[in-house]
Amino acid sequence: MNAPLQSVKNPVDPVKLEKLAEVAIKIGLQLQKGQDLVMTAPIAALPLVRLITKHAYKAGAGLVTTFYADEETTLYKAGAGLVTTFYADEETTLARYAHAPDESFDRASDWLYEGMARAYAGGAARLAIAGDNPMLLSAQDPTKVARANKANSIAYKPALEKISNFDINWNIVSYPNPSWAKQMFPDDPEAVAVEKLANAIFAASRVDVDDPIAAWKEHNANLHQRSNWLNEERFAALHFTGPGTNLTIGLADGHEWHGGASVAKNGITCNPNIPTEEVFTTPHALRVEGHVSSTKPLSHQGTLIDNIQVRFEGGRIVEAKAARGEEVLNKVLDTDEGARRLGEVALVPHSSPISASGILFYNTLFDENASCHIALGQCYSKCFLDGASLSQEQIRAQGGNASLIHIDWMIGSGEVDIDGVRADGGRVPVMRKGEWA
């Protein structure tokens, strides 16, 4: 006689996962009735894709189409609109590096991104589920990785512009992919590692409380208070000092600080990043001077870049090195002219919940919300006064940077001080020892 099967505990709490899906639709996107949704996700995130699809339809979304055949997401269709999901798969990604001809690394699916851009131009919202193995490509040829990334950036530009210019409401959330979990908790069995990562995601995303919607409204109000103060101060620059850092970041003319929920050009208020702890604005692409050291590793397209040290002159990185991943870093900086200039500066207190957790996620979405950070490349047009009405030429004239890339990396810690520098040279403490002054 066979023994009864033991029930296996689900390492991902289904109640909290449901709350995350609801927050993604109601807070992250505020998806409108009849609005289409384009979703990208690793294939391991299928449980979250299904829940988000359900909540999208319950919100009255447009058409839902899944390119990966899945019976459950198909069954959710009930007279609503369209949610399109593109799935990423780690094994097929690695197969390319193992077997594809060399010339293929200079190509990308431009037809796919052109289609995305058309969808966004037609009013679709965009939702990305993060969760890829941060070290997936660490053993691959960095030259091929850089070539593939550049080709992808060029192909993605039509869609990226709709996102970076905030033409649409968009959002990113995360799912505890087992391969990601094992990178973070290598000494634990897979189920334990996934449970730890899931709980960390839920806590950072504020869905481990009774009413996540109310929690997010309160959090957004706090971030708005910080950004309002910075906008009232109208600093001309920020000066960062700390171990390995003496950096002055000039701020773009007519810059505007944002944090938490923001209104996209389509009139819809959205929270682009879940989680988020930052207030951010646009630096002046020509007015950055000094040197800065990273305070956390940067996981970029499957490669870990650690202990970054760069020097700026006239807004441009003229020297760059890293203890790990230096070759990839320098290839990223050579993507185009704008890749060596800044497109974003963001302030995050060292005591943020993600920092206080003590967990290194190896994922920029989380790690950037544990630390002040800067971003190489493309600026956000929304971070200008009346940004929605400015042309690209006007944004450049005011100091906004243009590039095929937008890559955040962390420069804040409990040892970093920040001063706001007024136009007359006067200084105001903004952060001391990583905390709001």
Which residue segments constitute the domains of the chain, with CATH numbers given? 14-204 (3.40.1830.10), 212-268+277-436 (no CATH)
Token couple for 324:
């790990």
Question: Looking at residue 207, what is its pLDDT?
Answer: 98
Question: Looking at residue 69, what is its pLDDT?
Answer: 40
CA separation for the pair 213, 158 (Å, rounded): 33
Token couple for 255:
């810059």
Q: What pTM value is reported for the model?
A: 0.86
Q: Which amino acid is present at 392?
A: Q
Angle between the N-to-C axes of helices 14-23 and 212-233, in degrees from 0 to 180, rounded to the nearest 10: 40
Contact 20, 202 (CB under 8 A): yes
In this structure, what are the phi and psi dihedrals at residue 99, rounded to the nearest 5 degrees? -130, -15
CA separation for the pair 16, 210 (Å, rounded): 10
**Cα-based angle 223, 224, 228 (whole degrees, multiple of 5):** 120
If you write DSSP's letter for every residue of 178-232 in order, what string do you get? HHHHHHH-TTS-HHHHHHHHHHHHHHHTT-SSS-HHHHHHHHHHHHHHHHHHHHH
Question: Looking at residue 63, what is its pLDDT?
Answer: 64
Question: Looking at residue 74, what is its pLDDT?
Answer: 44
| Residue given tokens 């594809």 in the structure block | 100
CA separation for the pair 437, 434 (Å, rounded): 9
Q: Give the residue from 128, 131, 129, 138 showing the smallest Cα distance to 184.
A: 131
Q: Is the dihedral of CA 230, 234, 235, 237 positive or negative?
A: positive
Token couple for 53:
């699809």
CA separation for the pair 389, 74 (Å, rounded): 40
CA separation for the pair 245, 390 (Å, rounded): 34
Query: Within 10 A of 191 (CB to CB), how many other CB atoms are there?
Result: 15
Q: Which amino acid is present at 122?
A: G
Burial class (CB in 10 A: 0-12, 13-18, 19+), 258: buried
| Residue given tokens 């988000």 in the structure block | 52
Question: Looking at residue 149, what is its pLDDT?
Answer: 86
Angle between the N-to-C axes of helices 190-204 and 14-23, in degrees from 0 to 180, rounded to the nearest 10: 40
**Cα-based angle 247, 368, 385 (whole degrees, multiple of 5):** 70
Token couple for 341:
């200039």
pLDDT by residue for the chain (437 residues), tens only, comes to 444 444 457 899 999 999 999 999 999 999 999 999 999 888 899 999 999 999 998 999 886 554 444 445 444 443 334 555 567 788 888 998 999 999 989 998 888 889 999 999 999 999 999 998 888 888 899 889 889 988 988 999 999 889 988 899 999 999 999 999 999 999 999 999 999 999 999 999 999 999 999 999 999 999 999 999 999 999 999 999 999 999 999 999 999 999 999 999 999 999 999 999 999 999 999 999 999 999 999 988 778 899 999 999 999 999 999 999 999 899 999 999 999 999 999 999 999 999 999 998 988 899 999 999 999 999 998 899 998 889 989 999 999 999 999 999 999 999 999 999 999 999 999 999 999 99
Q: What counts of helices (H) and strands (E) characterise the chain?
A: 13, 22
| Residue given tokens 């944002």 in the structure block | 258
CA separation for the pair 386, 395 (Å, rounded): 11
